[in-house]
Chains A and B, each alone.
Chain A
Amino acid sequence: MTVISAIPELRKRVEKLRSLPSSPAILQPLLKLLRKPPEEIAIGEVVALVSYEKTIAAQLLRIANSPLYGRAVPTESIQGAVFALGIQRIKEILLSNCFNKLVPKNKWAVDPSVFWRHSFGCALVCGELANRIEYRDKDQAYLAGLLHDLGIVVNSLTYTEEYREVLARAAADGRPLEEQEAESLGFTHCESGGILAKTWQLPAAIVEVIEWHHAIEKGPVENPLIAIVHLGDLLCRVRGLGYGYEEWRAIDLPADAAWTTLAKHFPKLQSMDLARFTMDLDAYVIGITKLVDAIFSPPKS
């Protein structure tokens, strides 16, 4: 296996990403905003952040007025758009906007709308799961779900062509992406994402999620966010919010190591109604697809 030799080369490539001209200046203030519970965020804060760049403001107005959100009276102010869409959706739009700037269109190895459906879906599921098991910081779980696949963005940027190949192969065989990555590239999106997350100085708990969500047995046991994201990610992947293809395997969540570990500290997990949780997830899929469609629908000329 080329696993060991691939890492220094990967590190070099990721280090180079730091000096990208389009490195997102909005990222740090945005992350601060993302970490707050929506009810603690003042509208003024969001408006200030959104006004950072004309293109973001324009995009927010376009989405708020899009037929998908069916507003009778169009809104013309950012404040109006924030009210219309809600803080949660604004956060998601800002983050995707930020990354869509970072990654040029021709560099996305994975379809960006597929990627964002998965990321928004996972964020929602992780937040809900945290809620049900009474994990103290629902918003941190939401953020962890949102950013867990940072490595997919890294792989798209640094290994565009090879990565397209990896995705195509995984899709053809209905195989988990991380397995195909390890085999074809010698590393997974966990490793590449981890390197960038550290470079960007993301919160330590989030870095750990990015690094270990597919290998929880190797990660730090004291961080339950890793197990939450691992389970949320699996659920999304069997309910139509995966990487754009179906993975042909049976997922037995209660038999998963992450489930067992999490249940030790959060007994509510054992009595959770998993069937109902899954059916509720299908309702989120509709909302998430709508948001992503609105983000990626071409602006009216």
Chain B
Amino acid sequence: MPAEIQAKKQATTALRDVEERDPFYLKIRDLVYQACGIYHSEEKLYLLAGACKRRMPASRVTGARPYFELLANPATRVIELRELLNEITIGETCLFRSPPQLNALQNVILPELIATRSKLGLHKLRIWSAGCSTGEESYTLAMFLLEQGEKLLKGWTFEIMATDLNDRSIEAAKAGVYGTYALRNTTDLYRRKYFVAAEGEKLRVIDAVKARISFSRLNLNDDSKMLFMKGLDLIFCCNVLIYFDVPSKRRVVQHFFSSLTPPGYFFLGHAESLYQVTDEFRLVHLPGATMYLKPAAAAEGKTKA
């Protein structure tokens, strides 16, 4: 009966609302934001509450308040925060995860880069996927840019450097085999053009795409290696910095800033923020997406006034 279903639906939403209104979820939200820079606005609070609830059995607590206390307690905080962040970001990776980001690239950022780099006699884009995990973001960018090869990027080449700390992730990324969940946002056009069938319902990225990406292991905390990353146009670092404490985050972001040729853009995960990490990058808005800009006039190594 539709009326009954409707009533039931209302009841469950109401129940969910009551649970999430628990002020301790707000406290957890603020704690996670301050410690990691990942933010859950009101409409996303249920995701945070869900992640907390999934952690509760393993942490042997029930309810928002004791779970908050676990996160607030210096003895348990570091480990529990890391576990919680894993829960928060689980299932976040898929190909073509952020269409607004790709639209922003196509309509504004690439045209701007092409115009400014052409003046310098450059015809190659250099992109870094820092913390590439199992390669979804890197392949998305490669396929998207290949599609632009006859349009915006006619006469241009590009290379993508994809790095991660985890060897196993790098191996999986190199294999480039994805299941239906990771491919849920991938259109038929891309499936036909850039994939071949693999075991079961899985698809494998074709070699022509793989050839545009170099996957390698890199620790973002390794200052000497970080200094080698130069002359980049775009840097993507999605859901990686959330695991860093504020001083290391500052250091890594400073490296990113130096690596970019201005005007250059730095992209974070959709719920991440650089608030109080740096004021050198400028947060810019494009329809449905935000990113950080290293402006053309920015002088390097500028100290805070």
- Using known A-B contacts A239-B288, A273-B275, A276-B39, determine if residue A248 contacts B108 with beta carbons closer than 8 Å: yes
Which residues 266-303 of B have a CB within 8 angstroms of A?
Answer: 271-276, 282-288, 290, 293, 295
Say whether, besides A273-B273, A280-B41, A282-B41, A252 and B33 are in contact (CB < 8 Å). no
A235 with B41: CB separation less than 8 A:
no
Cα A278 to Cα B289 with chains together (Å): 10
Task: Count A interface residues, CB 8 Å.
Answer: 30
Interface centre among B107, B109, B276 (most CB of A within 10 A): B107
Chain B, interface SS category = mixed
Q: How far is the CB of A252 from chain B (nearest CB, A)?
A: 5
The complex places the Cα of A234 from the Cα of B286 at a distance, in Å, of 10
A82 CB to closest chain B CB (Å) equals 21
Partner of B287, one of A247, A279, A280, A282: A247
* Closest residue on chain B to residue A275 by CB atoms: B273
Chain B: CB-nearest residue to A274: B283
Contacts of B39 in A (CB 8 A): 275-276, 279
Chain A nearest CB from B159 CB (Å) reads: 24
* Cβ B293 vs Cβ A252 within 8 A: yes
Q: Mark B1-12, 1 if CB is under 8 A from A, else 0.
A: 000001100100
A80 within 8 A of B: no
Cross-chain contact A249 with B33 (CB below 8 angstroms) = no
Give chain B residues whose Cβ lies under 8 Å from the Cβ of A255.
282, 295
Q: Do B275 and A72 touch across chains, with their CB atoms under 8 A apart?
A: no
A235 x B43 contact (CB < 8 A):
no
**A174 B43 Cβ-Cβ under 8 A:** no
Do the beta carbons of A280 and B42 come within 8 Å of each other? Answer: yes
- Nearest chain-A residue to B292 (Cβ)? A275
- For chain B, which range describes its interface: under 10, 10 to 19, 20 to 34, or 35 or more residues? 20 to 34
Q: CB within 8 A of A275: which of B42, B274, B295?
A: B274
**Scoring A residues 276 to 301 as 1 if CB is less than 8 Å from chain B, else 0, what string do you get?**
10111011001000000000000000
Query: How far apart sit A255 and B13, CA to CA, in the bound complex (Å)?
Result: 42
* Residues of B contacting A273 in the complex (Cβ-Cβ under 8 angstroms): 273, 275-276
Q: Which of A239-277 contact B (CB under 8 A)?
A: 239-240, 242, 246-255, 273-276
Complex CA–CA separation, A90 to B283 (angstroms): 35
Whether the Cβ atoms of B282 and A283 lie closer than 8 Å is no
Q: Which of A70, A239, A247, A276 contacts B10 (CB 8 A)?
A: A70
Instruction: Determine the distance from Cα of A5 to Cα of B107 in the docked complex, in whole angstroms.
Output: 35
Report chain B residues within 8 Å CB of A174. 107
Give the contacting residue for B285; candidates A70, A72, A238, A286; CB below 8 A.
A238
What A residues does B283 contact at CB under 8 A?
Answer: 253-254, 274-275, 278
B41 to A250, Cβ gap below 8 A?
Answer: no
| Cα distance A72–B107 in the bound complex, in angstroms | 46
Q: Which of B1-44 contact A (CB under 8 A)?
A: 6-7, 10, 13-14, 33, 39, 41-44
Q: Which of B42, B103, B107, B286 contacts A283 (CB 8 A)?
A: B42
Assuming the contacts A250-B108, A252-B293, asked whether A282 and B285 have C-beta atoms less than 8 A apart, the reply is: no
With contacts A174-B107, A283-B42 taken as known, whether A254 is within 8 angstroms of B285 at the C-beta atoms is: no
Distance of A250 Cα from B290 Cα, bound (Å): 9
CB distance from A244 to the nearest CB of B (A): 12
Chain A contacts of B41 at CB under 8 A? 276, 279-280, 282-283
- A250 near B293: Cβ-Cβ < 8 Å: yes
Cβ-defined contact, A250 with B285, below 8 A:
yes
A285 to chain B: closest residue by CB: B43
| Nearest-CB residue, chain A, relative to B274 | A275
Closest beta carbon of chain B to A284's beta carbon, Å: 9
Task: For A252, list chain B residues within 8 Å (CB).
Answer: 282, 284-285, 293, 295
Q: Does A67 contact B (CB under 8 A)?
A: yes
The answer to whether B108 and A249 have CB atoms under 8 Å apart is yes
Q: A67-B6, A255-B282 are in contact. Are A248 and B274 (CB under 8 A)?
A: no
A67 to B3, CA, bound (A): 11
Contact among A239, A254, A276, A279 with B282 in the assembled complex (CB-CB below 8 Å): A254
List B contacts of A246 (CB < 8 A): 103, 287-288
Contacts of A235 in B (CB 8 A): 285
**Neighbouring A residues of B42 by C-beta, 8 Å:** 280, 283
Chain B 83-107 against A: per-residue CB contact (8 Å), 1 yes, 0 no?
0000000000000000000011001
Complex CA distance for A247 and B287, rounded to whole angstroms: 7
Asked if residues A248 and B107 are in contact (CB atoms below 8 Å), the reply is yes
Determine the distance from Cα of A239 to Cα of B287 in the docked complex, in whole angstroms.
6
Query: What is the CA–CA distance of A70 and B33 in the complex, to the nearest angstrom?
Result: 32
- Please state if A279 and B284 are interface contacts (CB–CB under 8 Å): no
How far does the Cβ of B195 sit from chain A's closest Cβ, in whole Å? 29
A278 and B290 contact, CB distance less than 8 A: yes
Given A67-B6, A275-B273, 11 more pairs with CB closer than 8 A? A72-B10, A240-B287, A242-B287, A250-B286, A254-B283, A255-B295, A275-B275, A276-B41, A276-B273, A278-B283, A279-B271
Can you list 7 residue pairs at the A/B interface with Cβ under 8 Å?
A235-B285, A248-B107, A250-B112, A252-B285, A252-B295, A276-B273, A278-B285
